[in-house]
Chain A
Amino acid sequence: MEPQNTIICRCEDLTLAEVEEVIAEGYTTIEEIKRICRLGMGPCRGSTCLQLIDRILARQRNCGREEIKMPTNRPPLEGIKMKELAGDAGEK
């Protein structure tokens, strides 16, 4: 697996090489990494990349995955169209 050809976050089109570079700069928590390179901030809400980034960090730190803190899980659980939330106002 070539790091520059391995996609970690599909929504934001981020490769393993790019993510590793951000970690090498000193961003070592998922909260920081997502703010710098937008990992996990796309419409799938991190359903793939969050399952990979903790492994990457655990491998680097030589620890278990359970020791890597997950970022705050923000609502809604999946994308909802505004008109569905807005009710009548969204239909006019």
Chain B
Amino acid sequence: MPVKNKANVVIIGGGVVGLAVAYNLALLGIKDVVLLERAYLGSGATSRCGAGIRQQWGTEMNCALARKSMDIFENMNEMLEVKRDIELKQKGYLLLAFSEEEMEQFRKNLKVQSKYDIPSREVTPRKARDIVPHLNLEGIVGGAFCPTDGHVNPFLVTEAYANAARRLGVDIYTYTEALDIEISGSKITGVRTDQGLIKTDRVVNAAGGYSQQIGEMVGLDLPVKSERHEILVTEKIEPLQGPMVMSFSYNIYCQQTPEGPFLMGYGDPDEPESYNLNSSWHFLEEMTRKAARLLPPLKHLRVIRQWAGLYNITPDRQPIIAESEEVPGFFMAIGFSGHGFMIAPMTGVLLAEMIAGEDPSLEFKLEPGRFERGDLILEPSVV
């Protein structure tokens, strides 16, 4: 389909972040918003993610974004007038500590979380087993639990934002690829696609695992890298596990989704920077070992599918949500470091406000300059 030849804003990337930005721009009354997606909506990291939504973070910014995003998820069915329920399940996230040092970090995180009204609390090993009765307590010294964390369906959240954005007049072009961004001086003048040129002076980079390639189009070397993360899903069973069970040191996350299957993954510390999306046998073996040890009854379940997606990682594991200083009009919502889906709702609000020149509904500073200055606050809680 040929594209419009002119737009107020062009968003590159039809994942949940790009669509949330598109919807919020239209909601603020910005006309002629165009979104480009080179495959189908949600075909990148959004559809490949673990479908968890968590507020238990260690940095102020991640806590603030996650808490506000949870408010939006809780009201999303009504707010976006969805055709299909987004399958919100709030049965909590149980985070497990395997050493006193890790428990100390949890206590620090809990203090940050309480400032943002996140209802998380410390739990003893015994309390953890009350919450997840099939948990093997060997080696566990304690944990943290937030009862309002949980799950939503990434495919259906993507659809919800897309349909709501279309109703407000956003033009969404799927199977349309941004090939280059045209610049005159340091000003953006247009986006060249495989379906024609769109004149615009504002571009949003929401390209997830490929965001550095979009940065190159305007001559920027963005401080992000991409890395494969693998995941698997089992057959469905009756409800067994309420919360997501997660540990950073043991390195696992595992939840039962409302439909009944278990979804689980871990982060391979030796994974190189790449765009590799292939599945590995190594992951199957290591993942099932980890799950069978920590959650023994799961060993009787059949694995029915495995896949991989890209984390787009920044040096401090916090996203970049900002306008470029070097290239005015180049906005970025990138580097989500594996937790973009769960903070997409608030990201969409904040970036749209920035583009529209409105006061932000939340004070935040997530510009890329922090990496050059070196004043990083590292997010400690990433799998």
CB < 8 Å neighbour of B301 from A42, A72, A81: A81
CB < 8 Å neighbour of B289 from A41, A80, A90: A90
B288 touches A90 (CB 8 A): yes
Contact residues, B151-189 vs A (CB, 8 A):
155-156, 159
The reply to whether the CB of B279 lies closer than 8 angstroms to some CB of chain A is yes
Interface SS of B by simple majority: mixed
CB of A70, distance to nearest CB on chain B (Å): 15
CB < 8 Å neighbour of B40 from A31, A83, A85, A89: A31
With CB as the reference atom, state the residue of chain A lying closest to B41.
Answer: A32
Chain B residue numbers with a CB within 8 Å of A32 are 40-41
B304 touches A85 (CB 8 A): no
Size bin of chain B's contact surface: 20 to 34
A74 touches B307 (CB 8 A): yes
CB of B191, distance to nearest CB on chain A (Å): 24
A82 touches B159 (CB 8 A): no
Q: Residue-by-residue, is A55-92 near B (CB-CB < 8 Å gives 1, otherwise 0)?
A: 00000000000000000101110011111011101101
A82 touches B42 (CB 8 A): no
Q: Identify which of B120-128, B210-218, B292-300, B370-378 touches chain A.
A: B292-300
With CB as the reference atom, state the residue of chain A lying closest to B46.
Answer: A35
CB of A20, distance to nearest CB on chain B (Å): 16
CB of B210, distance to nearest CB on chain A (Å): 18
Chain A residue numbers with a CB within 8 Å of B40 are 29, 31-32
With contacts defined as CB atoms under 8 Å apart, how many contacts are there between chain A and chain B in the complex?
A: 86
Size bin of chain A's contact surface: 20 to 34
The reply to whether the CB of A43 lies closer than 8 angstroms to some CB of chain B is yes
CB of A58, distance to nearest CB on chain B (Å): 19
Q: Residue-by-residue, is B246-289 near A (CB-CB < 8 Å gives 1, otherwise 0)?
A: 00000000000001000000000000000000010000110011
Chain B residue numbers with a CB within 8 Å of A90 are 288-289, 292, 299
Chain B residue numbers with a CB within 8 Å of A42 are 235-236, 304
A32-B40, A35-B42 known; A82+B235 contact, CB < 8 A: no
A83 touches B304 (CB 8 A): no
A85 touches B303 (CB 8 A): yes
With CB as the reference atom, state the residue of chain B lying closest to A80.
Answer: B303
Chain B residue numbers with a CB within 8 Å of A92 are 292-293, 296
B284 touches A76 (CB 8 A): yes
Q: Residue-by-residue, is B230-252 near A (CB-CB < 8 Å gives 1, otherwise 0)?
A: 00001110000000000000000
With CB as the reference atom, state the residue of chain B lying closest to A73.
Answer: B305
CB of B154, distance to nearest CB on chain A (Å): 9
The reply to whether the CB of B195 lies closer than 8 angstroms to some CB of chain A is no
A87 touches B285 (CB 8 A): yes
The reply to whether the CB of B324 lies closer than 8 angstroms to some CB of chain A is no
Which 5 A-B pairs rank lowest in CB-CB distance, beginning with the nearest? A79-B302, A83-B299, A35-B155, A86-B288, A89-B289
Interface residues of A (CB under 8 A from B): 25, 29, 31-32, 35-36, 38, 41-43, 45, 72, 74-76, 79-83, 85-87, 89-90, 92
Interface residues of B (CB under 8 A from A): 40-43, 47, 83-84, 155-156, 159, 234-236, 259, 279, 284-285, 288-289, 291-293, 296, 298-307
28 pairs across A/B with beta carbons < 8 Å? A25-B83, A29-B40, A31-B43, A36-B84, A36-B155, A36-B159, A43-B235, A43-B236, A43-B304, A74-B305, A75-B284, A76-B284, A79-B235, A80-B302, A81-B301, A81-B302, A82-B288, A82-B292, A82-B300, A83-B299, A86-B285, A86-B289, A86-B291, A86-B292, A87-B285, A89-B289, A90-B299, A92-B293
